C-alpha cells in the first residue's frame, strides 16, 4: 500500500475517516504508523499528496488532508481487450495492468475461454473493484479503470469493436503474425490479447478484417499475465 486511496464516502471536509480492517491492519502492522505521521493519500479520481494521521485505533484511522495537490501519474493511452483468463490469473492481471496505468478494460469471451470462468466470484463487481484498488494503491494512482464484460465474441465484433477502433490503432497480439510488437508508440491504442491457447484463426481473421493489425511478442509462449505486462511495457 504505497498510497491510501480514499473513497469519496470516507472524506468529510478536511478529514478522512477509514474504518475497514484491511487498511487499518496494514497501517498498524506494515507502516507501523502512529498519530502525527505523514502518509501518502489520494482521493479516488482526484489529487494526491501527504496527509497527517491524526488518530489510529483498532477500528478507525483519521487523516487530516492538508495539501493534496499532486496529480496522479499519467495513464497509458490504451483500451485493453482481454480474453477472460482463469479466475486467479484474472485477479493478478487486473492488479498488474491497473498498476501499469491502463484505464479501460474489456473482458471478452472467445472460443477458447472456458465458459465456467464467467461464473467465477472473481467477476463480481466488488471483487473486481478490490483488485483495481490494490493496483492503484501499489502504483500510487487515483483513477479507477472501467471494466466491461463482453460475454459474446460476435456481438463484440459487430457492435462494440467499430466504436472502440474509432481514433485508435487496433493491435491484436497473436503468435505467428509477421509484425513484431511495435515499440514506444504514442498513439491511442486498442490492444487485444487472446486466452491461453490463443484466439482461433476465425477470430483473428475477423479482427484483422475489422481493421486491427496483427503482431507477435516473439517465439516464447507466455502466460497471460506476463504477456500483458510485456506488451504494455514494450508498446508505451
Cβ contact 52:37 at 8 Å: yes
Q: Does 201 bind its own copies (CB under 8 A)?
A: no
Identify the CA nearest to 171 among candidates 194, 189, 157.
189
Nearer to its own copies, 112 or 157 (CB): 112
Taking CB under 8 A as the criterion, which residues in 82-111 touch its own copies?
95-96, 99-101
Task: Out of 155, 176, 211, 218, point to the residue binding its own copies (CB under 8 A).
Answer: 218
Least gap, CB of 44 to its own copies (angstroms) = 17
Q: Does 2 bind its own copies (CB under 8 A)?
A: yes
Q: Does 122 bind its own copies (CB under 8 A)?
A: no
Q: Does 130 bind its own copies (CB under 8 A)?
A: no
Least gap, CB of 54 to its own copies (angstroms) = 25
Least gap, CB of 68 to its own copies (angstroms) = 17
List Cβ neighbours of 136 (8 Å cut-off, separation of 6 or more): 3, 5, 42, 98, 99, 142, 143, 144
Nearer to its own copies, 111 or 140 (CB): 140
Stretch that binds its own copies, among 20-28, 43-51, 206-214, 221-229 (CB under 8 A): 221-229
Cell reading at 65: 488532508
Q: Does 50 bind its own copies (CB under 8 A)?
A: no
Q: Does 176 bind its own copies (CB under 8 A)?
A: no
Residues that bind its own copies (CB under 8 A): 2, 73, 95-96, 99-101, 138-141, 183-184, 218-223, 226, 229-234
Amino acid at each position: 500500500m504505497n498510497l491510501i486511496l480514499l473513497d469519496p464516502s470516507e472524506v468529510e471536509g478536511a478529514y478522512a475517516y477509514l474504518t475497514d480492517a484491511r487498511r487499518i491492519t496494514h497501517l498498524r502492522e506494515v507502516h507501523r504508523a502512529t498519530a502525527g505521521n505523514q502518509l501518502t493519500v489520494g482521493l479516488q479520481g482526484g489529487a494526491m499528496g501527504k496527509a497527517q494521521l491524526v488518530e489510529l485505533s483498532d477500528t478507525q484511522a483519521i487523516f487530516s488532508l492538508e495539501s493534496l495537490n499532486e496529480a496522479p501519474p499519467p495513464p497509458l493511452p490504451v483500451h485493453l481487450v482481454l480474453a477472460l483468463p482463469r479466475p486467479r490469473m484474472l485477479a493478478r492481471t487486473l492488479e498488474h495492468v491497473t498498476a501499469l496505468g491502463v484505464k479501460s478494460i474489456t473482458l471478452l469471451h472467445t472460443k477458447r475461454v472456458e465458459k465456467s470462468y464467467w461464473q467465477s466470484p472473481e467477476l463480481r463487481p466488488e471483487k473486481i473493484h478490490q483488485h483495481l484498488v490494490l493496483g492503484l494503491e501499489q502504483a500510487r494512482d487515483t483513477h479507477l479503470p472501467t471494466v466491461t464484460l463482453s460475454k459474446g465474441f460476435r456481438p463484440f465484433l459487430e457492435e462494440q469493436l467499430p466504436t472502440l477502433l474509432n481514433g485508435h490503432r487496433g493491435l491484436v497480439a497473436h503468435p505467428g503474425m509477421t509484425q513484431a510488437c511495435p515499440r514506444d508508440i504514442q498513439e491511442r491504442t486498442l490492444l487485444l490479447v487472446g486466452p491461453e491457447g490463443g484466439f482461433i484463426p476465425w477470430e483473428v481473421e475477423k479482427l484483422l478484417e475489422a481493421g486491427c493489425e496483427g503482431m507477435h511478442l516473439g517465439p516464447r509462449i507466455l502466460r497471460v499475465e506476463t504477456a500483458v505486462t510485456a506488451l504494455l511495457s514494450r508498446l508505451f
